[in-house]
Structure 1
Amino acid sequence: MTKEAPGTAPDWSQRPQTADAWVRRAHEVAALLAEDAVERDRAGQTPYEEVQLLKDAGLVTLLAPAEYGGGGQDWTTAYRVIRAVAAGDGSIGQLIGYHYLWAWAARLVATPEQIEAVERQAAQENWFFGGAVNPRDDDLVIREEDGELVFTGKKTFSTGGKVSNVTVLEGILEGTDDHVFAIVPTDQDGITFPGDWDNLGQRLTESGSALIEGVRVPWAAAAGYTETADGGHEFVPRIYNTLNVPLIQLVFTNFYLGIAEGALTRAAAYTVAHTRAWPYAADRKDRGVDEFYVQEAYGDLRSKLWAAEALAERAAAQIEAINAHADSVTPEERGEAAVVIAAAKQTAIDAGLEIGTRIFEVTGARASANAVGLDLYWRNIRTHSLHDPVAHKRAEVGRYALTGELPAPTWYT
C-alpha cells in the first residue's frame, strides 16, 4: 500500500503545538487513508502500514504527558482526532480510539508509580496499545504461581491484535471475583491471534480472538494492586475507576460520527461528479445537484450529523470536567456523564445508519457498484454498533428523563 506520491508527503517533522493543529494532522492522515480505503477493506490485510502511519504522524502519543515526549492533549482533542481519522477509514478510527482508551487505562486503575512508568515508556517507545478485554468472557483465568500471576485462557474478541506493541490483559483471579488488569508485551510466545475476525464491517481492526497461554506477570505490574502488611495484595477502587466504560462508549460515538462524515462527504462528491437528473420529472433539472429531493436529503442528513456531533462535544466537555478533579469525582458526576454519553451514542448510531443507507437514494443506481464502495460506511457502523444493544442506552436515558435515575457502573454502563 503506497500512501503518498513522491513529493506530496506531509511534513510531519514537527509536533503540532495546539489542539487545532493536532486535529489538522489527523485530517491529513485521514486524507491518505481515504485514497484506498475501499481496496484495503476488500483485501482485509493486517493494517501494519496504517498503524505506522498513525505513529509517523505522532497521533499515537497524543494523550501522553508532554514531559515524557507526548502530545499532552486532553480527551476532547483525542475524540476529535478519532472522528477525523475515522472519516478516512473507520477501521483505523476504531484502532486509534481503542488505543487511546488502553493507553489511558493506567490512569484509571493503576498506582501513581505504575502510571508514571507506563506513560513514560509508552511515550518514549511509541507504543501502540491493543486490548484483550471482554467482560462477557470469563474464561481468562489468573492463578498465582511462585509469587507471579499467570494468565491462561481465551478472549473471543480483542482489538489491535497483531499490530499492537503491548496488550492490556484482563482476567479473574482464581478462586475470587477479582478482576486484574496488566499491560504485557504483545510479541511473546504466550499470546497468539488466530486471525478469525471475518465480519461484515470494521474488517481491519484485528478484532478476533486472542489465545493467552501462560503469560506471566509480576504482582508489581497488576494495575492498582499494592502489597499489604501480611504479604498479600489489595486493590482499592475509586469512582474514577468506573469511568473506563463511559470513556470507551464516547470513543465509539466519535468513530461512528467520523464514519458518517466520510460517507456523507464521499457521497456528496459522487453526486456532484456523477449523479444525473431524472429526465422524466415534472420539474426537470439539468443536473443531479439541482434536484429538490437531492438537496432536501443532503440538508436533512447534514443537519442530523451536526446535531449528533454537538451532543458528542457536550459529552466530551463533561469528561473534561471530571478529569479536572479525577480524585474527587462524585457518583453523581460520573452518572450524569454516562447518561449524556448514552444519548450521544444512540444519536450517532441513528444518524450514521441513516446516512449510510440514504446516500444511495441521492447518488443513483450506478453508485451501488462495488468499485464505488459506498457500502463500506453502513457496514462499518452496523457491525460495531452491535457491540452492546443500543436499546439499553435508550432505556438508560429514558429512566433518567422519567425519574432522574443515574446508571449504576457496570461493564457496559
Structure 2
Amino acid sequence: MEPTLIVCGHGMVAQRFLEELVSKASIPYRNIIVFNGETYAAYNRVQLSTLLSGDTQEDSLPLKPDAWFAHHGIQVHHGEAVEAIAPDEHRVKTSSGRVYSYSKLIIATGASPARLGIPGEELGGVMNFRDLNHTRTLIELSKSRKRAIVVGGGFLGLEAAEGLLRRGMDVTVLHRSCHLLNRQLDPDSGKLLSDALTERGMHILTSTSPTRILGQERVLAIQLNDQTLISTDLVVIATGIKPNRELAQNAGLACGRGIQVNAQLQTSAADIFAIGECCEFNGETYGLVEPGYQHAKTLACVLAGTTRSATYHPSEIATRLKIGGIPVFSCGKQAPDEHTESLIWQDITTGGYNHLLVRDNRLVGAILMGNTSQGPWYQELINNNTNIQPFRAQLPFGKPYCEAAA
C-alpha cells in the first residue's frame, strides 16, 4: 500500500495542519485524503460573527481555493464523513459506504454545541450559532422575527447577540454567571461590558438561567429560574461545546471528555492522532482555535519527521475579542486569589480598564478593555515567566513606560 494519510474533518485546525505539512521539505505520504462532513471547504469560522452582523460576505470565508488542494495533490471529499475506524486493519468506512486504508490517520472532528437539557429545545426557532449553516439560518430568520433570546454570555453568545442586534432584532442575553465573559473577565470589567452593551440597546440578565422553552411547534417564550416568562420569536443557545469523540470512542480509543492524546498528539492507537477541539491533553480540552493551530504545527513536524523531538507544550492562550465595538483582551488567570496581587488601572473618560495579576514578581494574568494594544506584550511576559520587579510600578501603563523605568 502506498503511504496514505487520511484526515477526518476539515475545519480550521485540519486546514492549518495540511498547510504546515505541505510546507515541509519532504512529505512521506503519496496520498493525502480529507473527509469533510460539511458540504463546503474549510472556512474561517472566526468570521461567522462578522457575517452575521453584515460586516463581511460569504465569499471571504474560504481558507484556500480548490486550486490549492489540486496543486498539492490533496483529495477532499465534501459531504462525506468517516463513520467508523478499524484501527487493527488500518481502515476507515465513510458515510457513503466506501472503505479506505491508511498509514496514518488524523481525527479533527471538532466539537458540537452543548445542550441545555431542558424541555422545549426541539422547538422550531431554537438555534445554535456554531457553523455556516447556523449563520445562514439566523440571517434569514432575523428578516421576519423581531425578538431574540441568547442563552450564554460567553464570547460566542455575545457575538450572536451583537449580530442579531445589528440586524434590527430586540435581543436579550441570559447568563448564569454573575458577570459576562466570566471565563475571560473579572466582575468589574464584566460589569463595564454589560453597561456598554446595555447602552447599545441589548438587554442583559446575569445570574439567570432558563428552565423551559415554551411553544407548540415554534418557540413562543422562555421560562427563567425565577419563574419569569419572556416572550420571544427566536432562541440561540451558546453555552459551550462538547468534543466530538464518538468516532474514536467507537473504535476503542482511550477517551475522557475528549480523545486522549500524548505530547505528540498520538492517541492510544499508534498510527492515529487527534488535534483541535476533539482532543484532550493532560485532562484539558480546547475551545479556542489557537491551541488547535499549535497542535497542527506540532503534528506536522512529527509526521514529516523534520523534528524528532517535536512535542506540544501548552502555553497561556490570549482571548482577543471586539464586542459591540469594545476591544477585550484576556490572558492567564482572570480571578485573584490569596497568592496574587492586583494592579488595576482605569480611565473613566475613555472606559479603558487594565487588571494585571502578579505572583512572586511574575505576571500571571492580564485583563484589558478599551485599549488592548499592550495585550500581546503582557502575554509574552506571562508565557516567558519574566521577572517584572524592575518595572512593576509602571506595568499597568504598558511596555514603553516599563522600558523607560528599566
TM-score when normalising by structure 2: 0.20
TM-score (norm 1): 0.20
User: Higher helix share goes to which structure?
Assistant: 1
| Structure ranking higher in strand proportion | 2
